[in-house]
Amino acid sequence: MSCSGKPSCKIGPSILNADLSDLHSACVKMMDSGADYLHLDVMDGHFVPNLTFGHPVVKCLKPKLPDVFFDMHMMVANPEKWVSEMADAGASQYTFHLEASEDVPKLIRQIKEAGMKVGIGLKPGTAVEAVLPYVEAADMILIMTVEPGFGGQKFMADMMPKVQVLRSRFPELDIEVDGGVGPDTIQLCAEAGANMIVSGSAVVKAADPKAVITNMRHVVDSAL
């Protein structure tokens, strides 16, 4: 696991909600506003009913943002297929969905051998027990708080027990939440034990993104 000791709060804006015609400027704005990393949603139209960008976009962005941690949220069928391309493009962490992989241990090895950190995501309908055998081999576990595929959905508070289970069993683990997370829902995430906070429109569309990030960080740090 990636943490030693108490996990720290990390805020990662989801750039899917940004102006895709000027993605580099949007990314710079988020980092200048205090973001710790960027969360990039990759959707293939198969695993989820939506289509976004792939590794060519990452390959264009990374040279302009060489020191930024890119957390790739791979909402794709056959996640094994894109590991080498994402590594070559400069991805920092490859977060695949447990539901999409037929051989999780093999995929974890593949990601590590490619030089990336390993994230494993769970859809709302997947029990947290399904990921427990793989936690020790991963760097981060992502608990989806909406159905993956589209932004702007309502936060699912009933996913918080999954976070609580992971935090109680793995006190040093990086636990990420994604979907409907913002100032109105951050307290629930923080109290459950999440420390990696993905926020889309609540940050990206905010008049003052820095204030939103600072506020959420304060809530999470207080809970941790």
Residues carrying an active site annotation: 41, 178
DSSP letter string over 120-157?
EEE-TTS-GGGTGGGGGG-SEEEEESS-TT-SSPPP-G
Q: Does the annotation list 4 as a binding residue?
A: no
**Partner residues linked to 119 by β-bridges:** 95, 140
To the question of whether residue 41 is assigned a binding role by annotation, the answer is yes
200 is in an annotated binding site: yes
Paired with 95 in beta bridges are: 73, 119
Cα-only R_g, the chain: 16
Q: Known binder of ligand: residue 119?
A: no
Does residue 97 have a known ligand-binding role?
Answer: no
73 is in an annotated binding site: yes
The answer on whether 150 is annotated among ligand-binding residues is: yes
The Cα–Cα gap between 74 and 80 comes to 10
Sequence-separated (6 or more) residues with CB below 8 Å from residue 100? 47, 74, 76, 77, 78, 79
CB 100 within 8 A of CB 108: no
Q: What is the H or E stretch that residue 9 is in?
A: none
Binding-site annotation, residues: 14, 39, 41, 73, 149-152, 178, 180, 200-201
Q: Which residues are annotated as a binding site for substrate?
A: 14, 73, 149-152, 180, 200-201
